[in-house]
A and B are shown apart, each in its own frame.
Chain A
Amino acid sequence: MIILKRKKWRDNPYLIKIKMAKTRRALTGAQCTAEAMRQINPDVVAAYPITPQTNIMHAFSQFVADGAVNTDLVTVESEHSAMSACVGASAAGARAMTATSANGLALMWEVVYIAASTRLPIVMNVVNRALSAPINIHCDHADSMGCRDSGWIQLYSENGEEAYENTIMGVRIAEHPDVLLPVMVCQDGFITSHCVETAEILDDETVKSFIGEYNAQHPLLDVDNPVTYGPLDLFDYYFEHKRQQVLAMENAKRVIREVFDEFGRITGKHYDFFEGYKLDDAEKVVVCANSSAGTVRVVVDELRGRGEKVGLLKVRVFRPWLNNMIVEKLSRVRAVAVLDRSASFGGFGGPLFTEIRSSFHEEKEKPNIINYVYGLGGRELDLEQVRRVFKELEEVKNGNIGKRVRYLGVRE
């Protein structure tokens, strides 16, 4: 804690070191996210309640009521309106944020694309939840994975602390002049959003100076320089605008790396597109996103204790997809199981699997890759299931691949 008055420690070079303060707090994932939003202090937040996202807005609206933020909180009548309000606010030049889950995201759909195509750096927290029907409020990744081609950057978070960090970094990534794309920060519904863990929270000043001021490029409210947003764009220019979005995603690869490194210097942690755990000499590796990484890590430790060469690769950034890096991380591995918490009906495996498998297509040195669809509708991924995956990978490692796409935890 800083005891000296601000003016003094700013002037004293020896005290710069303690300028940044970290606090370990017991928070749910939703509270972590709300805490990040409080520190970001966006100009506009527009949201509509939906389980399990509601806890984020519950906590954030308390900050608004308490005057802890200057945010204009717009309580809209639907998620379609929530994203529309964010688009309007962002085009006007505001820093805009929202949060949603599952069916709420589905209702936003049309405007989700518009936000990306209009190049508005909105940051949205998606608390991953299964899509109806039958109606289910628990975790899977069908909602955000359905948005993979919408033009949003997607960051995945293992726990509340990562959701907190990704939200803060998301602002910087989205608003970078070479990117200007919206960012989706995902965390697992209930598993992360509603469970209390300790999380390292930075002090307000550090976050404030990290994200900086937002200066919109062509804000609608700049009446001296009138511009048009969202005009009709037919076959003479629409394709050109899409090509620009491709470049923005390409630029995002560099910008994400820079923002990860810069934030890492503050927190002392290393952030990466794909984060390996005990990967160096691993022969069998499980790849997954979000909270399941924690479960897999426990099993990796357990099996390493018995001398098995196993590892984990956690996906933090799904869009943009870093093709070369996944190859670099996994090419020396012998067997890989990709865990997908969403099904792609009629496709050959889940979205993570198809992405990874296609990344290896031209490579000479590559592992045998299989896919497990798991945890749909909040079906628990327990340690026993992960042990089974590593056990089955032994066969795959030896060349007996069997079924490429498997289902984990479903009653056969």
Chain B
Amino acid sequence: MKEGDGHHLHNEEHRQSLKTWKEIPIGGKILEAGSSKKYKTGDWRTFRPVHNPEKCTNCMICWMLCPDSAIRVGGVDDPNKGRKGVSDNPGLGNFGGFDLDYCKGCGICAEECPFKAIEMKEEKEFED
């Protein structure tokens, strides 16, 4: 399992990439739009959602309630296609997998799924 973002300070590679106080904008301002995409909050996850296609009816309640927009919709031209957790070819408007780069593992999807089609499993059970 990867460490949380702040813990990257202990990661030598990350530490080398940090800028000095003279190199960053003042006041904590971020001058680049949309930079939050670079902040992979999936690092925070302790439990990973696992999808059971047998039970799933594609009601998309998980997609509506996910606070991090980490439920993918299938069938659309998805730029994240082929990324970890994104299904290859689900039907149009159907459940298209989890975006594990941003899923914090809160478990709201599993809690709210009326068909118990999502199960939360500990990250240590996975190899990647």
Contact = CB atoms under 8 A, between A and B. Distances in A.
Interface of A: 117-120, 180, 218, 225-231, 233-237, 239-241, 243-244, 247-248
Contact of B30 (A228, A240, A244): A228
B64 interface: no
Contacts of B25: 218
A122 to B, nearest CB: 13
B33 A244 contact: no
B9 A236 contact: yes
B27 A117 contact: yes
A98 B30 CA distance: 27
B28 interface: yes
Nearest to A231: B30
A218 B27 CA distance: 11
Contacts of A240: 19-21, 24
Interface string B1-38: 00001101100000000111100111111110101000
A237 B5 CA distance: 12
Contact of A237 (B24, B33, B35): B24
B21 A218 contact: no
A94 to B, nearest CB: 16
B31 A235 contact: no
A276 B113 CA distance: 75
Contact of A117 (B24, B28, B30, B31): B28
A29 to B, nearest CB: 32
Interface residues of B, number: 18
A244 B5 CA distance: 23
B27 A233 contact: no
A396 B103 CA distance: 69
A118 B25 CA distance: 11
Lowest 5 CB-CB distances: which A-B pairs, in order?
A: A119-B27, A240-B21, A228-B30, A226-B33, A243-B21
A235 B30 contact: no
A227 B20 CA distance: 20
A233 B6 contact: no
Interface in B62-100: none
B30 A241 contact: no
17 contacts: A118-B29, A119-B29, A120-B27, A225-B31, A227-B31, A227-B33, A230-B28, A236-B9, A236-B18, A237-B18, A237-B24, A237-B28, A241-B24, A241-B27, A244-B24, A244-B27, A248-B26
B6 A180 contact: no
A226 B33 CA distance: 6
B27 A118 contact: yes
Contacts of B9: 235-236
Most chain A CB atoms below 10 A, which of B20, B24, B27, B33:
B27
A386 B30 CA distance: 53
B91 to A, nearest CB: 36
B24 A228 contact: no
Contacts of B18: 236-237
A39 B76 CA distance: 58
Contacts of A120: 27
A234 B31 contact: no
Contacts of A233: 28
